[in-house]
Amino acid sequence: MNNILSIGPEALPILADLLRQPAVSQVFVLVDANTSRLCYPLLKPHLPEAHSLIEIPAGEEAKTLDSCEAVWNNLTEQQADRFAVLVNLGGGVITDLGGFCAALYKRGIRFVQVPTTLLAQVDASVGGKTGIDFQGFKNHLGVFQEPAGVFIDPAFLATLDPRQLKSGYAEVVKHGLIADAAAFQEQRVNSLFIDDWTDTIRHSVALKQEIVAQDPLEAGPRKLLNFGHTVGHALESFLLSQPGREILHGEAVAAGMVCEAWLSVQHGLLSDTELDQIETFLFSVFEKVQFVTLETEAIAEYARQDKKNAGTTINCTLLETIGRGVYNQPVTVAEIAESLRYYHRL
């Protein structure tokens, strides 16, 4: 089963052909409580008659070792061998966790991604990153493992509520900011008013693939894709640790992009005019993330655990200009806290 990427209405029929290959011994479909109800009915006609469902709870709080253990127990009880295929049907939690489980089970079985959210379609399912959260830190455990295929059908987006769709759009904006100034300017015009997402998804995935191809294991240029994520992950991790303060990944990344664009200005890279363009556009799409000034130091402390760090140095991706990112930019916890205070004042 060769690695394949298919985007559009033909994606699921192509997946069906792959799963019928004689080399596939068993097919398992990983879902959560939402995709089991909303998305599995769309996928089921394209699956072999003999397949098994594995369901875990929905949400970031399920992205844990306990959920992995449940998946591994299920595979073991059903005697899944190394010729089995795990089909991950869901958003970023399912594609990240499912890929991680497949990579470790019996030293690796094949898996395919069928992303159902905009965030997973343009980002989480592409590039071979897998992982789970650990001790409150985002994606703290993980491996690089390419899926056998990624099958993106924009029809799944009709199952999303507006908040989830908007969350995924943050990654589309990020790709423009780090690699395609013209795309960002187009986004400023069109925003979320898109009837058919196919071309947007194809363009965003192509930008990410071009970066990943240069640096599959994130030793250099792939770090560009973390723009907005140093502050964003810190904010997301902090709020997820607070009962009743739910936040979606894209909402945290949108806030992180404002903070890191401001840091780019402080480091003498980005112009004030460009910062204003970025802020104005992001606040026209995303609601402001709520926290209090007294929490900024505690939020910033989470950045000490960022995977891009080298020793005690926090390495951040910043912007030289709109459309061109620059990675391995050292920032301090104090600077991150100040960027959060700046965001809070806006």
Q: How is 17-81 classified by DSSP, letter by letter?
A: HHHTSTT---EEEEEEHHHHHHTHHHHGGGS-SS-EEEEE--SGGG-SHHHHHHHHHHHHHTT--
Query: Cα separations (Å) of 262 from 105, 172, 177, 227?
Result: 43, 20, 14, 12
What integer pLDDT is reported at residue 303 of this predicted model? 93
Structure tokens, 108: 């690796």
Of 14, 8, 9, 10, the residue nearest 148 (C-alpha) = 14
Check pLDDT > 70 for residue 117: yes
Residues 198, 204, 205, 210, CA torsion sign: positive
Percent of the chain at pLDDT exceeding 90: 90
What integer pLDDT is reported at residue 306 of this predicted model? 79
* Reported confidence tier of residue 191, pLDDT bands at 50, 70, 90: confident
pLDDT tens digits for range 58-90: 999 999 999 999 999 999 999 999 999 999 999
Check pLDDT > 80 for residue 307: no
Question: What mean pLDDT value characterizes the chain?
Answer: 95
The domains of the chain, with CATH numbers, are: 4-159 (3.40.50.1970), 162-345 (1.20.1090.10)
Range in 124-128, 164-168, 231-235, 282-286 with the lowest mean pLDDT: 124-128
Q: At what angle do helices 181-190 and 162-179 cross, to 10 degrees?
A: 150
Percent of the chain at pLDDT exceeding 70: 99
Count CA within 13 A, CB hemisphere, residue 117.
Answer: 33
CA distance 246 to 154: 26
Q: Is 283 helix (H, G, I), strand (E, B) or coil?
A: helix
Check pLDDT > 70 for residue 25: yes
For residues 239-248, give the mean pLDDT. Answer: 92
* Reported confidence tier of residue 137, pLDDT bands at 50, 70, 90: confident
For residues 142-163, give the mean pLDDT. Answer: 95
For residues 176-203, give the mean pLDDT. Answer: 94
Structure tokens, 39: 């998305």
H-helix segments, the chain: 11-19, 33-38, 40-43, 65-77, 92-104, 118-119, 162-179, 181-190, 198-214, 229-240, 249-266, 272-285, 296-301, 333-345
How far is C-alpha 133 from the geometric centre of its chain's CA atoms?
13
What integer pLDDT is reported at residue 2 of this predicted model? 55
CA distance 81 to 90: 23
Cβ–Cβ under 8 Å, residues 150 and 128: no
Structure tokens, 176: 């423009």
Structure tokens, 121: 């379609």
pLDDT tens digits for range 192-241: 888 899 999 999 999 999 999 999 988 999 999 999 999 999 999 999 99
CA distance 307 to 139: 9
Question: Beta 110-115 vs 149-152: how paired, if at all?
Answer: parallel
